[in-house]
Amino acid sequence: LTDRPKLPYTDAVIHETQRVGNIVPLGLPKMASKDSTLGGYFIPKGTAVTTILSSVLFDKNEWETPDVFNPEHFLDSEGKFRRRDAFLPFLAGKRVCIGEPLAKMELFLFFASLLQRFTFRPVPGKMPSLEGVLGFNNSPEEFRMQAVPR
């Protein structure tokens, strides 16, 4: 983990994979605690409300190329990692996932150790699709890839 600041592109790829993968597209349902108005719509107290994270993770006002896998979304002009307010795979506010720090650490260690040991490439002529299979969560379509030891 001490090398993490020296690997901004690796961090950017992990974050962009989470953004595009969007495996949990719906936030946890909540109840409106008081009568509210949002965007001109009246929401009575007690109404079940949920967030659709895709609306933020693919927002054209937040991302330069929202429909393209682009790790540079998370790099500044000097190539350093930058956080983005619109990156919310662990939700936000009072209901943020308590496992977020552990998950981020584990993702980095797992991903970096795989990249250290293997070169990954798609099977020739068969690029993986970025379209997912929607269910309770989003899953990638099945695809084959080669993991070549370094």
**Can you tell me whether residue 13 is helix, strand or coil?**
helix
pLDDT tens-digit profile of 21-73?
A: 887 777 778 899 999 999 999 999 999 988 888 889 999 999 999 999 999 99
Query: Could you give the percent of the chain with pLDDT greater than 70?
Result: 100
For the entire predicted model, the pTM comes to 0.82
CA distances from 95 to 37, 47, 84, 127 (A): 21, 17, 19, 37
Residue 33 CA, chain-centre distance (Å), reads 29
- Between 149 and 137, name the one with better pLDDT: 149
